[in-house]
Amino acid sequence: MIPRPSKRQLDAEARLRPPMQVPPQHPAHGRDARDGRAHGHGATPPQPAAPGAKGPRLEERLRTVCRLRHYSHRTEDAYWMWSRQFILFHGKRHPLEMGAPEVRDFLTHLAMERNVSASTQAQALNAIVFLYEQVLGREAGEFADFERATRAKKVPVVLSAGEVRAVLARLDGTARCMALLLYGAGLRILECARLRVKDVDFARNVITLQDTKGGRGRVTMLPEAAREAVRAQLRTARALFDADRAAGAPGVQLPDAFAVKSPGAATSWAWFWVFPSPVISRDPRSGTERRHHVHEDNIQRAVKRAAQEAGIAKNVTPHVLRHSFATHLLENGQDIRTVQELLGHKDVSTTMIYTHVLNKPGLGVRSPLD
């Protein structure tokens, strides 16, 4: 019987094997990197430890590679979560002891036993390929014949104009201001939460979005009906900003290496959050205690509660306000390309889903019940 290599031998083998370079189009890079958000494709990979030296844990190695490639913290957490589940599924075996058959079994398990969605299964696949090819420096193997989860074709939930007004009427403060921008400007919830003071231009009536899904910046409108609410929100933010400066608190988090290029920006009013959190929190990467933007759970709970109070029997989330923004624009005669640009969709086919909401099957046909 051939003895199984020890974990120490496997770790040493992984440290000595140089990481492989994967093209930007490969799924292992994830959506953020393929769309240009990650600027670290040319970054120097972690150097292998010296022979005999005790190397870092697998989790630490994976997170290090994610940060070298400027992946978001959420992508980093998701990749480690799926890598850990893959390891636990196979009885805590080290990934170097496994290969394509084990990857295939795990992906099939997700689809058949756990009934995950197609997008969830794809995320797990990307994470495992990333683990093997970018962290461990070896091919994951061929496993194209795994059982794939079925991608459901769903029509987005949309509110009528009256229902939107009913929801907005039951919101106040920061939640109402955010909801006004979600519906009035078509923002995603995180795009709204991450707005900086410099992004809002009252003179031109526009909002400039830089920290977006996929890293594709865009410009959208600042609704006239939201101007006063945004001004009031900025007054609230200014009070927190002044309190932080008086207390000598660290500045806000800045994107990538901008903090090194412009160290004073973190404590400037222009880079402060439009929707700052009322409390100080610890940065999960640097450990610095600073003021972050408001957590998206707050607006999610507020919108759901407002819809329930309004008696709307639909699954209303903040993203439904964005769906309603797009649908109402198309109903009012805006062309699909304009709506695509305002939403920040890379491909017009994504925007076309809203045309299905406009379609009314059997229009002009009288029901036999009538």
* Residue corresponding to tokens 């005790």: 54
352 residue type, one letter: M
CA–CA distance, 127 with 79 (Å, rounded to integer): 5
CA–CA distance, 95 with 197 (Å, rounded to integer): 46
Task: Return the number of other C-beta atoms located less than 10 Å from residue 132's C-beta.
Answer: 23
Q: Classify residue 280 by its DSSP letter.
A: E
CA–CA distance, 275 with 181 (Å, rounded to integer): 12
CB 294 within 8 A of CB 174: yes
Task: Determine the length of the chain.
Answer: 370
Spatial neighbors of 248 by CB under 8 A, at least 6 apart, are: none
CA–CA distance, 38 with 67 (Å, rounded to integer): 9
CB 242 within 8 A of CB 253: no
The β-bridge relationship of strands 206-209 and 218-221 is antiparallel
What's the CA dihedral at 22, 23, 25, 29 to 10 degrees? 40
Spatial neighbors of 119 by CB under 8 A, at least 6 apart, are: 151
Task: Return the number of other C-beta atoms located less than 10 Å from residue 50's C-beta.
Answer: 9
The β-bridge relationship of strands 289-293 and 218-221 is unpaired
CA–CA distance, 6 with 97 (Å, rounded to integer): 10
* Residues tagged active-site: 188, 213, 319, 322, 345, 354
CB 192 within 8 A of CB 178: yes
